[in-house]
Amino acid sequence: MLFAPSNGGGGGSFLFWADLKRRKVIQVAIAYAIVAWLVIQIVVAVEAPLRLPAWTDSLVIVLLVIGFPVALVLSWMFDLTPEGLKRTPGADAVGTTVSGGVAGGRKLEYAILGLVVAAVAWLLYRTELAPEPAAEATVAASSGPAEPSAAREKSVAVLPIESLSPDKNDAYFAAGLHEEIIGQLGKIRTLRVISRTSVMRYENTDLSIPEIGRELDVGALVESSVRYAAGRIRVTAQLIDVTTDQHLWSEIYERPFEDIFAIQTDIATKIAAALEAELSNEERASIEAPLTHSPDAYALYLRALATFAATAPTLEASQAYFDQAIALDPEFAQAYARKALYYLLPLGAAITAMPEDPIQRARFAALGRENVEKALALDPDDGLAYTALGWAHQYEWKWTEMAAAFERAVELSPNEPASLAAHGMSLILTGEGDRERGLALVRRAISLDPNRAVWHVVLGLSLVLDGDKPAAAESFQRALDLNPVFPDALAELAVVSAEVGDLEVARRSAQLLDSQWRAAHQPTLAPMVIRAYRAAAMPDDALRVLHELEALDEREVVSAMTWFLAYYALDDAEKALDWLATAVRTHDTYGRYIPMLETRNDFTAPLWDDP
């Protein structure tokens, strides 16, 4: 019979407890709990390094829970004796099996004691004796095949975050969170953080960690995944030394979505600690400050970031999500800043990204200005807001204010390539500052975002204005290596190649650019093709493109500045200046050309020489 009969409530309970002890059920329960705890700790510790699926530890916990009652039943039914596993005798047979039972009991007690010692040792190791991540990094670097370069000592790239969300519509969490973690790390001045645009090419790569590290010239990479479901988020993150391919730090976070800011803060500070990057009090406060107190608003903000990244330069979809986020939290400063930046960036970036219609440009400028003012009123120390403010000043031709805004943006966001490149270019174009510093800022932008073609074009233009045309040609060619159909790069390469005597490259570049013009008939392309053909000594083709632009003007808007650039490329100074006067009078212009025209250089020399 399973339980001894009871002569009274208290006596029955005592006999049952005694029977549990005799059958070693209590000892087995204790031993099982200790073993289960150790197993869970070990699985959590090795899950990230061994790249096990994110659900591994959950599966182990479920199996251990299922196994617990099974272990108790088996301990009730069987004894461990010197002769092996035997069925436990009833209470009336205890006396005949004392020696075997005592021996088995002592073995179990010794086993429990050993497990307790092992558990304590593991706990001490994990909390007190395990080497700090920075120390591991030092050991790993010393045992690797080569010493890391000085530029790579405190540098990191966050690889695209893998989305494990069961609902594919929630994949935006991964893209938005990726950009935000990079942004958090980018606030640390002593850390070089590679931009999101440069790491996206490694989303589905076969390259190894060391190979990616060498291409980006960084010392560490972050691999991570995110799973969102039923209001909870699970983030796994691991920091890997690119020289040794060893883990410097790893963590698994499984919390309500409301804790997303705490997760981002912990990831940023732990990575900084592992790489021994010092945080100032201001940087730490900025990283720890939540962007909003509304989780729903933040989810919409992440969706806006992911939508813009996927559909740029289409703005409407991302702006709608920003508007919804702001409706939930009217004090969401970063939402206003991003919204402003997305409106203003086309007004100061590559020419072909700019709206041709002056009414649309004016609308973008007004919306950008309105939102950047709201952002700065809520958060006067937002670096992205100052970048947007710089573009707004450029559109308004306020060069001194533009340079000051970009300078402040660089101070607040030392790892933001758009701020660095914009300020560098502004210093070179306007003569408001040190040209050498301007070039250094543009090169810094490239070091942070090496796989984005536009920064290589900006560097090439800066080098042209600085008089180093061979180096400029190399920059334009690098831009085309990254984006073979980048119009600005093709046009500038054609011109500078002709000037250094390489007509073959100039003609090939002009013809490639012409193929884009024929395919799209985008008005802003026409002056580039005309200028490229003129530089390549192909005047008939240049005139053909002008006539095609004239035909296009009968069907859609062609801006005054486009006509100025077209006639200027043809050396028709009279018509060019007439159109420039119209462009200035109607504010129908590309902002970056105005300060360039005010500075005497190879591009503007014919204007300066004209009475």
β-pairing, 247-256 vs 232-241, is: antiparallel
Which positions ≥6 away from 392 have C-beta within 8 Å? 340, 344, 365, 368, 369, 372
pLDDT confidence of residue 13 = 55
Q: What is the pLDDT of residues 375-432, one digit of tens each?
A: 999 999 998 899 999 988 888 888 889 889 999 999 888 888 988 988 888 787 765 5
**How sure is the predictor about 456, in pLDDT bands with cuts at 50, 70 and 90?**
very high
pLDDT at residue number 355: 65
In terms of Cβ atoms closer than 10 Å to its own Cβ (0-12, 13-18, 19+), residue 90 is exposed
Q: Which residue has the tokens 């990244």?
A: 309
H or E, element range at 223: strand 220-229
What stretches of 256-351 show up as alpha helix (H) in DSSP? Answer: 260-274, 281-288, 295-311, 316-328, 333-344
In one-letter notation, the amino acid at residue 320 is A
Averaged confidence pLDDT in the chain = 79
The mean pLDDT value for 346-369 works out to 73
pLDDT digits (tens, 9 = 90+) for 417-453: 988 988 888 787 765 557 788 889 999 999 999 998 9
The encoded tokens of residue 93 equal 């047979």
Q: β-pairing, 220-229 with 247-256? A: unpaired
The tens digit of pLDDT for each residue in 112-162 reads 555 555 555 555 444 444 444 333 333 333 333 333 344 445 899 999 999
- As a residue count, the chain comes to 611
pLDDT of res. 587: 73
Q: Which helix (H) or strand (E) holds 251?
A: strand 247-256
259 half-sphere exposure, CB direction, 13 A CA radius? 13
End-to-end CA distance of the chain: 117
DSSP state, residue 381? T
Query: How many other CB atoms sit within 10 Å of the CB of residue 139?
Result: 13
Which of 135-149, 212-226, 263-277, 443-457 shows the lowest mean pLDDT across its residues? Answer: 135-149
Judged by phi (left if over 0) then psi (alpha if -120 to 50, else beta), residue 228 lies in beta
* Short-list 227, 111, 213, 113, CA closest to 156: 213
Q: How far apart are CA 267 and CA 290, in angstroms?
A: 14
Cα dist. 509→66, 318, 483, 485, 520 in Å?
69, 35, 13, 10, 17
Tokens representing 53 are 């699926």
Contact 391, 398 (CB under 8 A): no
Residues 6+ apart with CB under 8 A from 470: 500
Q: What is the pLDDT of residue 437?
A: 87
- The whole-model pTM stands at 0.69
Taking CA atoms, 6 is separated from 23, 24, 73, 441, in Å, by: 18, 21, 22, 87
Residue 317: pLDDT band with limits 50, 70, 90: confident
Q: What is the largest CA-CA distance in the chain?
A: 123
* Residue 577 host element (H or E): helix 573-586
Nearest residue to 226 (alpha-carbon basis) of 309, 156, 167: 167
What pLDDT digit, counting tens, does each position of 12-33 carry?
555 555 665 666 667 777 777 7
pLDDT attached to residue 222 = 95
Is the pLDDT score of 179 beyond 90? no
Least confident of 77-81, 105-109, 412-416: 105-109
Please tell me the predicted confidence (pLDDT) of residue 335.
Answer: 95
Q: What pLDDT does residue 414 have?
A: 87
Output the CA torsion 398→400→403→408 (10° steps).
-110
Residue-wise DSSP of 82-110:
TTEEEEPPPGGGGGGGHHHHHHHHHHHHH
